[in-house]
């Protein structure tokens, strides 16, 4: 397999990881609406699925990076949707990851998308 094909496979796997991330957040909101018995059943099924996705990412040499609740730094590999809402000197925190960062061998494969908030002093 040539390098271009490998790069394409890595990009496809990274996209699947992002979609799994999005689905997880939706699933967690829906699971809260279910009764305890059904909620636990579906959480167990999702946990199995999530572990399979994580194993596939590990096999491909990829990892998902979550910056939630970390201090925001302009050098982070993320696009901040609401950065213009703040002054340049404000201390900010990543309050929500809309899309995670996907890394391979300390190289960014896919930048993330975040929402920021002011640091509470």
Phi first, then psi: what are they for 67, rounded to 5°? -100, 10
Predicted pLDDT of residue 116? 97
Provide the whole-model pTM.
Answer: 0.80
pLDDT for 1: 63
* Digit-coded pLDDT (tens) for 13-60: 888 888 988 888 888 888 888 888 778 888 888 889 889 988 989 888
Closest CA to 63 of 119, 22, 106, 98: 106
Our count of domains for the chain comes to 1
For the stretch 82-114, pLDDT in tens is: 999 999 889 999 999 999 999 988 899 999 999
Domain range for 80 is 3-118
């Amino acid at each position: 397999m040539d390098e271009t094909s490998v790069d394409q496979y890595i990009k496809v796997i990274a996209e699947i990881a992002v979609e799994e991330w999005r689905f997880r957040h939706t699933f967690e909101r829906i699971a809260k609406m279910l009764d305890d018995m059904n909620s636990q059943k579906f959480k167990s099924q999702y946990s199995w699925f999530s572990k399979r996705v994580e194993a596939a990412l590990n096999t491909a040499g990829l990892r998902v990076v979550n910056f939630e609740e970390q201090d925001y730094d302009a050098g982070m590999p993320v696009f901040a949707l609401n950065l213009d809402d703040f002054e340049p000197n404000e201390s900010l925190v990543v309050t929500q990851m809309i899309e995670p960062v996907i890394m391979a061998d300390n190289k960014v494969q896919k930048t993330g998308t975040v929402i920021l908030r002011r640091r509470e002093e």
